[in-house]
Amino acid sequence: MEKNSLKEKVAEALQNQSERKFKQTVELVFNFRGLDMEQPENKLNLNVFLPKGRGRDVEIGVFADGDMNLRAKKVSKHVLNKQELEQYAKSKRRMRVLAGQCYGFIAQPDLMVVIGKNWGVVLAPRGKMPQPVPPNVELEPVIKRIKNSVRVKSKKLPTVQMPIGTADMNPEDLAENGMTIYDNITKKIAKESISSIYVKTTMGKPIRVV
């Protein structure tokens, strides 16, 4: 896949989108051939940083005590200390609500045991187990990077779909994000195993790129 070709197809997808009352996502869809996606060598489980951002803000939760907790409250609306983690764990509903509000989580390393024991049943199936972060690290850059990253995760079917931005972004930036995802996928899966690639807006018709 070439960037100029992707840029042209992204522009076509944006031009053909119908008016909606919400900001549509622009997505890439990869279809593979001759691969058993349940085999370890073919499974995709990537976090890809989008160099031009994802086009919308998402919430990142923080699990931390002490000074890290205080600093986290300056950059996140969803901050829990150890005691609050244990209180939430008494209600799966409260845990599920928070998991739904946040795109991802970071945590103080010494809280990971508590999180794994009490929160794993809710966060693990959603692919949202926290990323451990040393308590002395500056949090804003870490959270910014997670906010502008997307998950590329395969299941049983030989296809993956992920956002590359939103419909109010320009085709050049969307294409750069798309090529970054393509480069990461092709480090894991041979280009010859990609049967097709499509670009689409949330409610739009898929347009074939490859």
What is the residue-level pLDDT of the chain in tens, covering all 210 positions? 999 999 999 999 999 877 777 889 999 999 999 999 999 999 999 999 999 999 999 999 999 999 999 999 999 999 999 999 999 999 999 999 999 999 999 999 999 999 999 999 999 999 899 999 999 999 999 999 999 999 999 999 999 999 999 999 999 999 999 999 999 999 999 999 999 999 999 988 999 999
Count how many domains the chain has. 2
List the structure tokens of 20: 């909606």
The β-bridge partners of 106 are 62, 131
* 68 and 124 both lie in a single domain: yes
- Of the candidates 143, 121, 122, 118, which has an alpha carbon nearest to the alpha carbon of residue 60? 143
What CATH number does the domain containing 140 carry? 3.40.50.790
* 67 and 25 both lie in a single domain: no
* 122 and 184 both lie in a single domain: no
Provide long-range contacts, Cβ within 8 A and 24+ apart, for 130-134: 130/61, 130/63, 130/104, 130/105, 130/106, 131/104, 131/105, 131/106, 131/107, 132/106, 132/107, 132/108, 133/106, 133/107, 133/108, 133/109, 134/109
- Distance, in Å, from the CA atom of 177 to the CA atom of 168, rounded to the nearest integer, reads 14
Angle, CA of 195, 170 and 202, to the nearest 5°: 55
> Of 95, 127, 146, which residue is a domain's last?
146
Containing structural domain, residue 160: 3-54+148-208
CB atoms within 10 A of CB 129: 18
